[in-house]
Amino acid sequence: MIRFFRSGNPLTVLLLLIYTLLVKFYYLIHPSTFMADGSEGLLYHLLVKWMHSLAGDSPLLFTSLAILLLFLQSLLFTRIINHHRLFPRPTYLPAMCYLLFTSMLHSWNVFSPALLVNLIMLWVFSSITELYTRTSARDVVFNIGFALGVCGLFYFPSVIFCFLLLASMLIMRAFRLAEWIIAVLGLICPLYLMGTYLFLTGQMTLLWKIPNIGASLPMITDYKVWGAMVACVLFFVIGWLLLQRPLKKMLIQGRKIWAALIIYVVVAMLVPFFNIHFSAAYWVLAVLPVSMFAGNVFWSVTNDTFANIIHFITLAYVIVMQYFS
């Protein structure tokens, strides 16, 4: 099976759709409504309220929408990866890994602010890859900052991704103070526009719901969360180690993009600790970049039999966690 996803054949999208239905079938027959744990942002609250007025509390609708978002994100992520040639040849392995790893935890398949943030972060990551080739990046860094500000309206702790932007600017470009200031202005702009809208519509009391952030260091006792996180960290570390040799043969831009991805993983793993109420559901933010390194694990294992064994062991773990635990 791995050799089909290793290929960049456009027909692989059809196989990826079938694979999605396979690993997500349990969640379709046991659907859940949208996430509302108190950590969501104002824009997410307004969006869910509007969707609720149209479709009610249909668990199947929200779960189907969540799975559709995951599938679309896997395709968009693959397009970015193949466009920048981060692998020697076009491949759908990161997309497969993203769909597989997000199936390890039920809360990663629930319609939530994190899924919407992931969709925006794909555009942010795509824009970050352009920083190296631009002579003037002021428009790009403003747009990235603006997108991160919108993320903050869906899920406020995601503004911490501004550290990803600043670190990526250090990696991709020489330090220019004007670009850093413009990035911060872009980050503030959506918050300013939302505040203006609330003021003009007489809803200023909602303004205090925007900075919905805290800090927590929870004691995680759920073995499913531990299993999912151990699997993600293990594939991330192995993928990074296997990357060292091919990294030397890459163009400078490719090496810088992989370096930015490492920062992306670290920041995304820290974001959920700034929730008012900690939830492992928000670690799906880290699964997106981790799937790149997991894809590299399967890419680097040239023996198809061994690669399939690794894949089927992981798939078996997912099925056991879904149906038999």
How do residues 109-121 score in pLDDT, each as one tens digit? 999 999 999 999 9
Q: Which two tokens stand for residue 177?
A: 């103070």
The 3-state DSSP class for residue 303 equals coil
- Check if the beta carbon of residue 97 is closer than 8 Å to that of residue 87: no
Q: Which two tokens stand for residue 237?
A: 């570390």
User: Over the stretch 73-91, which tens digit does the pLDDT of each residue have?
Assistant: 999 999 999 988 888 889 9
Residues 6+ apart with CB under 8 A from 103: 23, 24, 27, 109, 318, 322
Range of the domain at 184: 2-323
Query: Measured on CA atoms in the order 123, 126, 128, 133, is the torsion positive or negative?
Result: negative
pLDDT band of 107, cuts 50, 70, 90: very high
User: Over the stretch 184-233, which tens digit does the pLDDT of each residue have?
Assistant: 999 999 988 988 888 888 888 777 777 878 787 888 888 999 999 999 99
The total domain count for the chain is: 1
Q: What is the pLDDT of residue 260?
A: 93
User: Over the stretch 8-64, which tens digit does the pLDDT of each residue have?
Assistant: 788 889 999 999 999 999 999 999 888 888 788 889 988 988 888 887 788 899 999
Q: Which two tokens stand for residue 305?
A: 């039999």
Report how far residue 271's alpha carbon sits from residue 285's, in angstroms, rounded to the nearest whole number: 8
Query: Measured on CA atoms in the order 182, 185, 186, 187, is the torsion positive or negative?
Result: positive
At 95, which helix (H) or strand (E)? helix 93-101
pLDDT band of 161, cuts 50, 70, 90: very high
Q: What is the pLDDT of residue 75?
A: 94
Q: How is 168-181 classified by DSSP, letter by letter?
A: HHHHHS---HHHHH
Q: Which of 62, 78, 77, 74 is CA-nearest to residue 28?
A: 62
Q: How much is the average pLDDT of 175-181?
A: 89
CA 110 from chain centre, in angstroms, equals 14
What pTM was computed for the model?
Answer: 0.93
User: Over the stretch 284-316, which tens digit does the pLDDT of each residue have?
Assistant: 999 999 999 999 999 999 888 999 999 999 999
